[in-house]
Structure 1
Amino acid sequence: MKAGTPDLATLGHRIRHFRGERGLTLDQLGELVGLAGSQLSLIENGKREPKLSTLDALAAALDVQLADLLAREAPSPRAALELELGRAQASPLYQSLGLPPVRPGRGITDETLAAIVGLHRELQRRASEAIATPEEARRANTDLRERMRARDNHLPDIEELAEEQVRASGHRSGALTHREVSVMAERLGFKLIYVDDLPDSTRSITDLANGRIYLPPASIPGGHGLRSMALQAMGHRLLGHQPPASYDEFLWQRLQINYFAAACLMPQEASVAFLSQAKKEKRLAIEDFRDAFGVTHEAAALRFTNLATVHLDMTLHFLRVNGDGALLKGYENDGLPLPTDVTGSIEGQWVCKRWRARRAFEETNRTTENYQYTDTPAGTFWCATQTGRTDATEFSITVGVPFNQAKWFRGRETTVRAESRCPDESCCRRAPDPLAERWAGQAWPSARLHAHVLSPLPSGTFPGVDDAEVYAFLEAHAGK
């Protein structure tokens, strides 16, 4: 079809509509235009494209203008529903269900047809919400960060739930043990099982039918990760989560289970007592908090953000920065000017090269925290940064506070100081004038394109999870 003409299905409906208004059968109209009734039927059903001469003949036989025949609108409300149903049933979404198409014959009333089309619209809407583009995901993450900032990153209902579960496990003090985590699972009717064949798209799988929580092998070093994963799986059940209907809901559920796990590993009452005493003695340190509860440095730093404003009366910021300087996670309620894109998202943005979060990668001694005061357009901030490494890359974890709150922390005596003018590009992103004059227009770097920039987030009942692999895994283990 040429641009400006209707699709074949719409054209066919318009021909059928005008034929019906004239009271002509397929054979009668076919005889007028020199076509067999069967050939005309193919045109009306959108399965054959007519020649322009045939369209001229049809318009004349039906006593309508050719423009009326070629209009892009459905000829009637009924036809509009039939066309929409046809498009919906031809979509990959409906085809993936393996269901037969519904043919809207005369036996289907307008009301029934409208109901079927309505179901297709809802199916498409839910599928569209479940498949978030990177931009939609960033917006959802930004909204969630703002929501938590308004709450001082504190969720009292989950704090209370975690305290209750930890007490019921028999835990009294120190780090939460694997045995106590197992007791918590047993109280919910679940057994923790460690396997080495979890699908790559999952961290754990909960078998609701047989009361099992499958986790990676128990030999993983450290143990904090396994306790956390088990607690996250339990969090879904305790918080009454249902399969998320949107990416925003998925992110909120993930935040809740992460919060629950952290609140169990570092219970509020014991954590606040520990931190309050450290503040009183002016020796607050994330590394001490980490060691007291047997968790990772990042877990301790994030947990500190849950408690610092509400219980220690201080504002603060948290950063996890990749080795290339990109911000992976961030939180602030102290006014630190975090880098953002046009949507307000911080993830993937480069932090200032003068911040300790990046300068720490230059240090040769990385066994302890590095401290720094940084003068920014929003004021002066003190921070403590610890670096780490994964199999793929290195990263830094930073917790900082405004200058007047540095007095509570170990490392406040540091003489390391820097100035950051970001987001002013002259701070660290614009080359010095001599270099710019020398090389502007003389360089053509080949940029590294990250696939996730262009790809939509993986779909599935849960984003990024391969349902087929999960069901095959559960079937393989159900009889064991």
Structure 2
Amino acid sequence: MHFFAYRQEMTTSPWSRDSMPPLPGTSGLPGTADTLDLISLGRRVRHLRKGRGMTLDDLGRKVGTVGSQLSLIENGKREPKLGMLQGLAAALGVSIDELLGAEPPTRRAALEIELERAQRGPLYGSLGLPRVRISSRLPMEVLESLVGLQAELERRLNEQVATPEEARRANAELRAIMRRKNNYFPEIEAEAQQVLDAVGYSGGPMSEHLIADIAVHLGFTLHHVSDLPHSTRSVTDLKNSRIYLTQSRHSDHDPRSVLLQALGHYVLEHRPPENYGEFLRQRVATNYFAAALLLPEKPAVEYLRRAKAAKEIAVEDIRDTFAVSYETAAHRFTNLATEHLDILTHFQKTHKSGIIYKAYENDGVTFPQDHTGAIEGQPSCRRWTSRVVFDVQDKFRAYNQYTDTPSGTYWCTARTERGPNGEFSLSVGVPYAQVKWFRGRDTDIREKSFCPDEACCRRPPSSLAAEWAGNAWPSARAHSHLLAAMPPGVFPGVDETEVYSFLAAHSH
């Protein structure tokens, strides 16, 4: 996790809010293109009417209605019919498009619109406060203060309501975006290639020396310290163009990836995330950027095409060729497999307890899901490769298995790795029709899964249930993080006071 003193100017990136595809469930909501914003329309009519020196009754006579009816329209309390809109546009001397324009005509009008929306919203209503009458006599500074207070209140409440359910929903939305794009993002690939060209990368594994050159090229100096805030893996000081990293060589993360992810926030011009979903998108984007530098697209694709032609694709070979972790190699394979090799695939990172921590698919495999569509936090089928691999004695070689599922037969390859939170399996799989390109396809190990049918592996066998049902009382290991709200703050889990104090101490 990284903490940034971000640039204040409004910028966009391949993974910024403005350029992301619309998330599911937003069509038709107030403020979107397919609804009429009555408050904004009313303020525009009032602005145009007053600009032409007309009273409500004057305008009413021109459009064939009374002033009291126009007052309801101007206050956003009545939706005018199409004929009325056409009459208003003609009487005010503007086109329909101008009358329905998205931009408020003045700063004051924009503030009035924001305040009116806020006062009609559920948050303001829950406070039990009297409504403020919005008129031309309301001072500008009062408008500014009221709108600012509302925005700050919403921001603070949003920080507090980042629940595990919200996190799971954000994960599901992000995974849907990744599936639509086949987990391939050409904008980030292009940014990574520009950086590689600038430092003269000529091939082979990415050395720490070359990565340090990338930092210098981007204008940063590197500082290894022993007192890095415990809630961070790196801290970037944009004021003084410094990146702080830990001195320890015993980190659970590749120091090259940590530095490249920190640089990724800068290159991709990220702004402080406004919600947990945006925080996740930025984190995935920086991980992608780092992988695109550690396994550059052109040499990685050339290598994979040769392996495909030889029918010898193997994740462990990708790992060894580019000197990265197995997890990084597996992730990068999912970035490039569909776009460049026409191979559909899926990926899982599963804890030894059976809980899925990360997952991606575009090959139709049926992952377990909760009501939000989230896969993370769900138990993987006991018969899948991602679970069976934990019981395999040979940990040196990859474990390969065919699994018959309700959605088809899949071949998967998996390995286990130990991390700070225990042992995990990392598995990559493809549909049966595409296994011919992979080493390990000759395995004779085959399992059958009926999940999500509970009779598959979640319900105890009848013989065990008959003997022990009602006679067992296990004391469950409490996973308190599943009940707690997500850590508050712009960057969840980061102690801002600790980070700012660290920067102050190191800035001289």
Question: In which range does the TM-score fall when normalised by the shorter chain?
Answer: 0.7 to 0.9
SS of 2:243's partner is strand
Cα distance per residue 1:93-145 (max 9 Å; x no partner): xxxxxxxxxxxxxxx95775554333222112222333411111110111000
TM-fit CA distance, 1:219: 3.0
Asked if 1:206 corresponds to 2:216, the answer is no
SS in 1 for 2:425: strand
CA distance in 1, matches of 2:216, 2:262: 13
CA contact (8 A) 1:204 1:233 kept: yes
- Letter aligned with residue 226 of structure 2: D
> 1:42-191, aligned counterparts within 5 Å?
113=142, 115-131=144-160, 132-191=162-221
Greater RCO (Cα-Cα under 8 Å, separation 6 or more): 2
Deviation per CA, 1:12-36, whole angstroms, max 9, x where unpaired? xxxxxxxxxxxxxxxxxxxxxxxxx
Number of aligned positions between the proteins: 381
Report the TM-score when normalising by structure 2.
0.72
Q: Secondary structure at the match of 1:206?
A: strand
Which residue number in structure 2 is paired with residue 448 of structure 1?
477
Residue of structure 1 equivalent to 2:254: 225
Choose which of 304, 307, 313 in structure 2 pairs with 1:278.
Answer: 307
CA distance in 2, matches of 1:197, 1:367: 36
SS in 1 for 2:381: coil
1:309 and 2:334 are equivalent in the alignment? no
Within a 5 Å distance, the mapping from 1:1-12 to structure 2 comes to none
CA distance in 1, matches of 2:410, 2:138: 69
Distance in 2, matches of 1:153 and 1:129, equals 29
User: Deviation at 1:225?
Assistant: 1.2
Quick one: distance in 2 between partners of 1:128 and 1:165? Answer: 39
Q: Distance in 1 between matches of 2:188 and 2:141?
A: 46
Q: List per-residue Cα deviations over 1:149-177 (Å, max 9, x = no partner).
A: 00000100100110111121122111111
- What 5-or-longer segments of structure 2 have no aligned partner? 1-115, 130-136
Counterpart contact for 1:126–1:246, Cα < 8 Å:
no
| Inter-partner Cα distance in structure 1 for 2:351 and 2:313 | 25
Give the deviation of 1:208 after TM superposition. Answer: 1.0
Establish whether residue 349 from structure 1 lines up as the match of residue 378 from structure 2.
yes
The change in CA–CA distance for 1:437 and 1:111 in structure 2 (over 3 A counts) is farther
Q: Deviations over 1:352-402 (max 9, x none)?
A: 101111111111110120000000011100010011111331010000000
Q: Does 1:427 align with 2:456?
A: yes
Partner letter of residue 309 of structure 1?
T
Distance in 2 (CA, whole Å) between partners of 1:166 and 1:252 is 23
Using the size of structure 1 for normalisation, the TM-score is 0.76
For 2:177 and 2:486, the matched residues in 1 are separated by: 23
Q: Which letter maps to 1:449?
A: A
- Does the CA contact (< 8 Å) of 1:381 and 1:401 recur in 2? yes
Q: Secondary structure at the match of 2:254?
A: helix
Matched residue of 1:445: which SS? coil
Task: Say whether 1:322 aligns with 2:351.
Answer: yes
Q: Is the 8 A contact 2:226 2:248 kept in 1?
A: no
Give, in whole Å, the separation in 2 of the partners of 1:462 and 1:356: 35
Residue 12 of structure 1: aligned partner = none
Cα distance change on mapping 1:392 and 1:255 into 2, 3 Å: closer
Superposed CA RMSD: 2.3
CA distance in 2, matches of 1:170, 1:194: 25
Report which of the two structures shows the higher radius of gyration computed on alpha carbons: 1
For residues 316 and 109 of structure 1, the distance between their equivalents in structure 2, rounded to whole angstroms, comes to 60
Identity of matched residues, %: 48
**Aligned match for 2:436, one of 399, 407, 413:** 407
Q: Distance in 2 between the 1:109 and 1:169 partners?
A: 58
Q: Deviations over 1:412-441 (max 9, x none)?
A: 000011001100111111111222223223
